[in-house]
Amino acid sequence: MKWFSHAAFAIENGEHTVLVDPFFTGNPLCSIKPDELERVDAIVVTHGHRDHIGDTEYLAKKHDATVISSVEICNWLGKRGVKKLHGQQPGGGHSHFFGTVKFTAAVHSSSLPDGSYGGIAMGVILETGGKRIYHSGDTALFSDMKIIGKNKLDAALLCIGGNYTMDVSEALEAASMLKPGILIPMHYDTWEVIRQDVVSFKNKAASICDVRILGINDTITI
Ligand code: NI
Ligand code: MN
């Protein structure tokens, strides 16, 4: 798995590459250009905000990749010429060619860059390559994270930046409910308003779980 900064990840299972929230263009932390990505098989989009839908339209067209997101976001992308789309909503989940995608609740909004309604904002549980990974999307703390943590998570990718999402202290509460094998903090330091002391977060969370601070464009094997 690779972290591009913010909420953008590439998850590789040895056969397929799945992007989550691929925000490259306009991302002040990430120097990678969308054209530098060699392989994209699927793109999971948690909600419509520009820093999450990001370069989805461009990358989906270029790589003929399948976009998996809310029904509303898929409809919006379809009108813009993206061909392979799979709309879902929280609950149940669906088996795709690379693994299972199950969307969860998220306490957040979801409008698209042109102001269109994007459905509800979501988090996602991805099962691929025998691993179970929770990407929180943008969310406030919510107590149903206890339910998400009931089945063992190999990794949780949690927003910690505050202002728009959970901050450090809320992400600590989330960690207690989720009890992931490893916790990767995300959605911080991209702009001044979400600046956080990630090292102090790691220290505070150390008694709860194994926090791995990734540098921009770092890869990690889960
Ligand atoms: Ni957002
Ligand atoms: Mn965001």
User: Ligand 2 center to residue 102 CA distance, Å?
Assistant: 20
> pLDDT tens digits for 130-157?
999 999 999 999 999 999 999 999 999 9
> pLDDT tens digits for 19-62?
999 999 999 999 899 999 999 999 999 999 999 999 999 999 99
Q: Helices 71-79 and 56-63: crossing angle, nearest 10°?
A: 70
Question: 11 in the Ramachandran plot: left (φ > 0), alpha (ψ -120 to 50) or beta?
Answer: beta
Provide the b/e sequence for 164-179 (b: ≥16 CB within 10 Å): bbbbbebbbebbebbb
DSSP state of 214: P
User: Ligand 2 center to residue 54 CA distance, Å?
Assistant: 10
pLDDT at 31: 87
pLDDT at 10: 98
User: Ligand 1 center to residue 157 CA distance, Å?
Assistant: 15
Residue 70 has pLDDT above 90, yes or no: yes
Model's pTM, two decimal places?
A: 0.98
